[in-house]
Amino acid sequence: MARLKSVSHDEELSLVDHLDELRSRLIVVVIAFGVAFAVCFWQNHYVLAALNRPLDGLIPVTLGVAEQFTTTLTVAAYAAILLIMPVFLHQSYAFLLPAFSPNERKVALPLLLMVPVLFVGGVVFGYFVVLPNAISFLLGFNAEEFNVMLRARDYYSFTALTLVAIGILFQIPVGILAVTRLGIITPRQLRKHRRYAFLGIAVVAMLLPGTDPVTMLLSMAPLVVLYELSVLLASAFDRRPSDGTDDEEDGDEGPDDDGDPHDGPGGDGGGLGSAEPNGRPDALRSPARTP
């Protein structure tokens, strides 16, 4: 494995050098995953007990001879992916960061620190708030009409996908702060078009694995709060002078003061004509007499 080293923005690397660095960083991620997977499989009883906690005493069932073993392997892999996410993000940043200019790097570095924090926050919120309420609603829906037997493989896949999806959705502040700091969009535009953002959040929340209204609403609430907090932070960090550019971009500008001379009395030479130096309008002058 090639030695990992930081690359400056001005340093030029060949395609082979880039591929070699990418291979080295992928090896680091694979090694981290192997270690995390071994630990999670060794302590699988604690991992399974933690995942079964939202079931409130219900034990998932298996339907095959080897399903207990394969399900345990799958759960250990899911847990290992969650554990190595900071390592994966760090290696991704280290590989992509040289492509940024010094100014772009100043914008990117603080945002990169937010990603693992927000991801962990999303997973914790999903585990303690979304999953218990969503599972209670789904298992209790028409429960008197069904003999509920929860299959382990389906339940653990549902749990893992939900937690990862919520962790990714919690990255909304990073995206908003990035586009505002880079000047792609302004905080004022974010405030003005928030209804479209809320509609997008609702659509994304509908696509979560639960597909039930409880999961959707519980996921939407923090995302809306995160959006509003992101807009406030973007406004606080916005260093551009307030010169009215935002108004022009949003289409909220008032009447043009330098517009057509026939627009009204407010313009230069309005509806009564242009004023003479003595203040008398042209339109009120007596017609010239012909000799």
* 256 within a domain of the structure (yes/no): no
Q: What is the count of structural domains for the chain?
A: 1
**DSSP 3-state of 183:** coil
* pLDDT per residue as tens digits for the range 150-205: 899 999 999 988 888 888 889 888 888 888 887 888 888 988 888 998 998 888 88
* 7 within a domain of the structure (yes/no): no
State how far Cα 43 lies from the chain centre.
33
pTM higher than the cut 0.75? no
* 246 within a domain of the structure (yes/no): no
**Which residues span the domain enclosing 218?**
15-239
* 248 within a domain of the structure (yes/no): no
Q: Which residues of the chain have pLDDT under 50?
A: 9, 243-277, 279-286, 288-291
* 89 within a domain of the structure (yes/no): yes
Picking from 107, 75, 74, 115, the residue whose alpha carbon sits closest to that of residue 91 is: 115
Q: What are the φ/ψ torsions at residue 61 (nearest 5 degrees)?
A: -110, 155
* 25 within a domain of the structure (yes/no): yes
pLDDT of residue 276: 45
Q: Hunting for tokens 């999806």 — which residue is that? A: 165
* 250 within a domain of the structure (yes/no): no
Angle subtended at Cα 238 by Cα 247 and Cα 185, rounded to the nearest 5 degrees: 55
* 27 within a domain of the structure (yes/no): yes
